[in-house]
Amino acid sequence: LAVKDPTAVERANLLNMAKLSIKGLIESALSFGRTLDSDYPPLQQFFVVMEHCLKHGLKVRKSFLSYNKTIWGPLELVEKLYPEAEEIAASVRDLPGLKTPLGRARAWLRLALMQKKMADYLRCLIIQRDLLSEFYEYHALMMEEEGAVIVGLLVGLNVIDANLCVKGEDLDSQVGVIDFSVYLKSDDDIGGKERNVQIAAILDQKNYVEELNRQLNSTVSSLHARVDSLEKSNTKLIEELAIAKNNIIKLQEENHQLRSENTLILMKTQHHLEATKVDVEAELQTYKHSRQGLDEMYNEARRQLREEAQLRQDMENELVVQVSMKHEIELAMKLLEKDIHEKQDTLIGLRQQLDEVKAINMEMYQKLQVSEDAMKEKNEIISRLEDKTNQINAAMKQLEQRLQQAEKAQMEAEAEDEKLKQEYVNKSESLQNEFSQKEKQLLQLETDLKIEKEWRQTLEDDLQKEKETVSHLRTETQEIVNLKKEFLKLQEKNKQLKSICEDQEAALQELASKLSESKLKIEDIKEANKALQGQVWLKDKEATHCKLCEKEFSLSKRKHHCRNCGEIFCNACSDNELPLPSSPKPVRVCDSCHAILIQRCSSNVP
């Protein structure tokens, strides 16, 4: 005889039971002739058979305390595939008396039957085989063709009207047992051959159950051996955890020592930085005061230059217009001499201030060298701290490797535990207590691992803090470098101010040379005036005719007197003009002695 697949036999039996229960329910309901309630026996048997069909090949799911099988998972998936099923799922969740997933699934089946859409809902579920594979095994009834056949049979239930009270019924504690006496026929209807076939099927099922029991016993013995090996591995893990804890305690002590050293180094560096900051601020204030003094001196020098230029223009105008006014010229000379003395005094003061600025620059350069030495010391301290952090990182990496090994061992143990627990729940309830104890031990190991991870996190936080302190020191060194750059900029500005002062000194020297030239010109004028003192000017009444053309003077022919030879000419005869740098217009010159001619007024005053 060919050996049959036990799962195929189970599917065929469940399909036959579904056919019998649906057929009997339809026939009894049509003969009953009115709506069915929840106490109707064929209807109760139909729900029991449907529950067994949905449970066939259902995957075992791990809960918080134990393993269980529930059909609520695939039924809850229907509302995502069929939007009209959302109302049923929401009403099932809102029922107050239901506490278990099985009770919710039973209530869902009753509501779907009352809506006459059970076939539609299950057809949408069967079509999505990839989603059903999360809940059912590959050989389950819902994954094979028998599930489609049952869905087709459920379409016939749409002729039945049912009025079921779900709210007050205790669906959680019902026992789903199929009553085969309803479907068995009498001896008169069944022939001898059919009875023999049924007896043979029953015997086959009995043999199948005995073979299953033998297999279960062998698997139980193998599971016991695996449990022993797991206990040994757990003891080894506990020992390794104790060793790891001791290592972590040692690392924590080393970390405390490093922290104390780091705090001392930070205190020293902060004192040094505060001292350097105070010195730099004092130097900046002195430089600002010296710069303000130089700006004020530069403004005063510019103002004096403008005043001197104005005085020079006034003097030139007075020399052109009023050459003969000796007293005013002497007063102007005295004023010029006073101004020259004052300028010499200001030049001496500017030179003294330049010497002071040079001394200040030398002091700033010495302080900068001191700050550079302090920077070198800080860089050495930072390098030491980086070496210590590298050592700590190496120790942390070793700890991480040990933790990863422990986690891998734990994952392997958890995987083996899951396999063992799935087989235990399917085959024997006596081993569930032992598995719960193992789970408690695993929880203890997980808590120990969590504690180790927390210790590791604290160590990482400490390392992060040390890195932050190192970065803070680096920022402070960068600030000192920026101060150095600012000092170099100030030196460049000082050089620019020096160049400006040198330009001002050159301008003052040029002014002094020009003043000396003007002084020489004034002395020449004084000598000319002394030469004219011995000569006598003619009166207007006596000078009536020009010496050259011998024509009479008039308004058109004005008188011009030579200050050297004393001759009088008209403006027509004195055409010789000579340009002078001190006057904007050319001057008329005598034809005989080439001296400057002066226009006479009506009075004797030239």
Please state which CATH number belongs to domain 6-183.
1.20.58.900
- Write out pLDDT tens, residues 532-588: 565 555 666 667 778 678 777 776 666 666 656 666 767 667 555 545 445 555 556
Chain-centroid distance, C-alpha 239? 43
Integer CA distances (angstroms), 48 to 42, 226, 486, in order: 10, 37, 91
Mean pLDDT of all residues in 132-141: 88
Which part of the chain has CATH 1.20.58.900? 6-183
Q: What is the DSSP string of 408-461?
A: HHHHHHHHHHHHHHHHHHHH-STTHHHHHHHHHHHHHHHHHHHHHHHHHHHHHH
pLDDT, tens digit (0-9, with 9 covering 90-100), for 277-308: 888 888 888 878 877 888 888 888 888 888 88
The CATH number of domain 547-605 is 3.30.40.10: yes
Q: Give the pLDDT confidence of 477-504 residue by residue, as tens digits.
A: 888 888 888 888 888 888 888 888 888 8
Confidence at residue 275, expressed as pLDDT on a 0 to 100 scale: 86
- The predicted pLDDT at position 604 comes to 37
Q: What is the mean pLDDT of the chain?
A: 79
CATH 3.30.40.10 residue ranges for the chain: 547-605
Cα 424 to Cα 50, 217, 227, 417, 433, distances in angstroms: 26, 11, 12, 10, 10
CA distance 390 to 413: 35
Between 79-88, 266-275, 358-367, the lowest mean confidence (pLDDT) is in: 358-367
Would you say residue 593 has pLDDT above 80? no
Give the closest residue to 325 by CA, choosing from 506, 144, 182, 529: 529
The pLDDT-based confidence of 444 (bands split at 50, 70, 90) is confident
Confidence at residue 68, expressed as pLDDT on a 0 to 100 scale: 56
pLDDT of residue 157: 86
- pLDDT of 331 above 50: yes
Inter-helix orientation angle 326-427/432-532, to 10°? 170
Q: How many helices (H) and strands (E) does the chain have?
A: 12, 7
Output the pLDDT for position 606: 32
Residue 577 is predicted with a pLDDT of 55
For residue range 235-268, list pLDDT tens digits in order: 999 999 999 999 999 999 988 889 888 888 989 8
Q: What is the pLDDT of residue 462?
A: 85
- 196 pLDDT band, cuts 50/70/90, is low
SS3 content of the chain, % helix, strand, coil (to 5): 75, 5, 20
Is 105:71 a contact under the CB 8 Å cutoff? Answer: yes
pTM for the model stands at: 0.34
Q: CB count, 10 Å around CB of 578? A: 11
**Which pLDDT does position 67 carry in this prediction?**
47
Distances (CA, A) of 482 to 288, 294, 478, 494: 18, 26, 6, 18
Q: Which helix (H) or strand (E) holds 597?
A: strand 597-599
3 state DSSP class of 576: coil
- Look at the chain and count its residues: 606
